[in-house]
Each structure stands twice: as C-alpha cells, then as structure tokens.
Amino acid sequence: MPNGAVNAWTAMWKLIEHEIVCVECKRRQHLAKSEAEFKHFPGCNADSFARSDSGSPSHDVRSTSRV
C-alpha cells in the first residue's frame, strides 16, 4: 500500500485490537464483519466522506494491501 493511501486511511480510521474505529464518532466494527457496510453514529461528519464502493473501511485497507 502506498504511503499516501496509508496516511489517508489512518486520518479517518484506527485499528484497535480486532476492531476498526472511526476517529470522528468512535463507532467500532469488528474485523470479522469487515465485508459489512460501516455504520457511523448519527451526525458523524465522517459519514459524508467519500469511501469505496464497498462502504467498508476495513475492506478498503485490506483490498489495497493486496495490490
């Protein structure tokens, strides 16, 4: 994964133990559910950020790392 992609991803998301966490609303999603769309808490500004067609930040980082 190119450094720019890693930096962009870590500006919006954190990986804590086995969960992906939105840095804005602090909502968590277990990596076992990485194929599911990430649902932010209501009113979260990050919910309006562009994301891939998958809608899943953990899927985004995993699929980019496979290239």
DSSP output for 11-66: HHEEEETTEEEETTT--EEEGGGTTSPP-PPTT-GGGGS---TT--HHHHHHHHHT
pLDDT lower than 50: segments of the chain? 50, 53-54, 64-67
Question: What pLDDT, on a 0 to 100 scale, did the predictor assign at position 8?
Answer: 81
Separation between Cα atoms, residue 51 and residue 6, nearest integer Å: 14
Of 18, 7, 22, 17, nearest in space to 57 by CA: 22
**pTM assigned to the model:** 0.66
Length of the chain in terms of residues written: 67
